[in-house]
Chains A and B, each alone.
Chain A
Amino acid sequence: MFVVIGNHRSKKILAAGVLLAAAVIPFAAGNAAGKLDDKKTVLDLDYGVALYNFYLENYLEAAKVLMAAKELGRLPKQPEDANILLGGIYLQYGLHLDAENLFSNLIDEKAPPQLRDQIWYSIGKLRYQKGLRDDAIRAFEQIRGSLDKHLYNESQLLLANMLMQKKEYDQAAAILKKLPGGSVDAKFAEYNLGIALFRGGREIEGAEYLAEVGRLESGDPELLALKDKANLALGYALLGQEETNKARAFFQKVRLKGPFSNKALLGFGWSHAMKKDYETALSSWLELRSRKKTDSAVYESLLAVGYALEQLKAYPQAMQSYLEAIQLFKDEVTRLDMAIQEVQTGKLMNFLVSQALGDERGQLTEEGLLRDVPEFRFITSIVSSHRFNEAIKTLRDLRLMRSNLEYWSAALPAYEDMLALRRQAYEERLPQLMPEQGVYKIAAFKDEKNLYEEEYKRIVQQHDLNAVASEKEAKLLERLNKIKEQLRGVGRQMDATEYGNLEYKYNLYRGLIEWDISTTFNARIWKLKKGLTQLDREIKKTEEQQRTITTAKTRAPRGFEGYNRQIDGMNKQIRGLQSQIDKVYELQQQQVQEIIVDQLAWLRDRLAEYLDQAQFSLARLQDLASEK
Chain B
Amino acid sequence: MMKKLVAVITFLLLIPLAQAEDNNPANLDDKIQTLKKEVMKLNRDLFILEEELLFPTSTQVAVFLSTDVGNYFKLDSVQLKIDDKVVANYLYTNQEREALSRGGVQRLYIGNVKKGKREIVAVFNGPGPNGRDYKRATTHVFEKGSGTKYIELKITDVSQKLQPEFVVKEWE
Contact = CB atoms under 8 A, between A and B. Distances in A.
Interface string B19-33: 111111110111111
Interface in A236-272: 236-237, 239-240, 263, 266-267, 270
B9 A55 contact: no
B83 interface: no
Interface in A526-556: none
B40 A45 contact: no
Given A52-B105, A60-B40, A588-B32, A307 B95 contact: no
B165 interface: no
A94 interface: yes
Contacts of B36: 93-95, 397, 401
B28 A591 contact: yes
Given A55-B98, A98-B37, A300-B5, A68 B103 contact: no
A40 B102 contact: yes
A567 B45 CA distance: 10
A68 B48 CA distance: 6
Contact of A51 (B1, B19, B25, B104): B104
Contacts, number: 221
Contacts of B19: 165
A438 B42 CA distance: 43
Contacts of A52: 99-100, 104-106
A294 interface: no
A617 B46 CA distance: 70
Given A239-B6, A239-B10, A39 B49 contact: no
A580 interface: yes
B39 interface: yes
Given A51-B104, A55-B102, A240-B7, A1 B49 contact: no
B14 interface: yes
Interface string A387-399: 1001100100110
Interface string A582-622: 00100110010000000000000000000001000000000
A518 to B, nearest CB: 45
Interface string A64-106: 1101100110000000000000000000011111100000000
Given A237-B14, A566-B49, A132 B26 contact: yes
Chain A contact patch, size range: 35 or more
Chain B contact patch, size range: 35 or more
A545 to B, nearest CB: 13
Nearest to B4: A613
B39 A131 contact: no
B86 interface: no
A239 B14 CA distance: 13
Contacts of B115: none
Contacts of B14: 195, 198-199, 233, 236-237
A233 B13 contact: yes
B109 interface: no
Contacts of B152: 45
B53 interface: yes
B117 to A, nearest CB: 22
B150 A45 contact: yes
Contact of B32 (A266, A267, A381, A394): A394
B166 interface: no
A340 interface: no
A164 B14 CA distance: 11
Given A60-B40, A584-B31, A236 B47 contact: no
A577 B35 contact: yes
A42 B13 contact: no
B18 A162 contact: yes
B91 interface: no
- B interface SS class: helix
Contacts of A408: 42-43, 46
Contacts of A381: 17, 20
Given A64-B44, A404-B39, A577-B35, A161 B103 contact: no
Given A95-B33, A415-B53, A613 B17 contact: no
A621 to B, nearest CB: 14
Given A3-B16, A94-B33, A195-B16, A68 B47 contact: yes
Contact of A567 (B21, B42, B49, B107): B49
Interface in A290-313: 296-297, 300, 303-304, 307
A397 B33 CA distance: 11
B23 A131 contact: yes
Contact of B49 (A93, A135, A232, A570): A570
A133 B19 CA distance: 11
Contacts of B20: 381-382, 385, 387
Given A97-B33, A415-B53, A577-B38, A56 B96 contact: yes
Contacts of B44: 63-64, 67-68, 71
A307 B21 CA distance: 35
A199 B10 CA distance: 11
A232 B161 CA distance: 63
A574 B6 CA distance: 57
Given A51-B105, A274-B2, A45 B171 contact: yes
B53 A49 contact: no
A55 B99 contact: yes
B136 interface: no
B30 to A, nearest CB: 8
Contacts of A270: 2, 5-6
B42 A49 contact: no
14 contacts: A2-B16, A48-B105, A51-B102, A60-B39, A94-B32, A97-B30, A240-B7, A297-B9, A387-B20, A401-B36, A418-B54, A566-B49, A580-B38, A581-B39
Closest 10 CB pairs of A and B: A48-B105, A52-B104, A40-B103, A55-B99, A2-B18, A131-B24, A67-B44, A236-B10, A64-B43, A387-B21
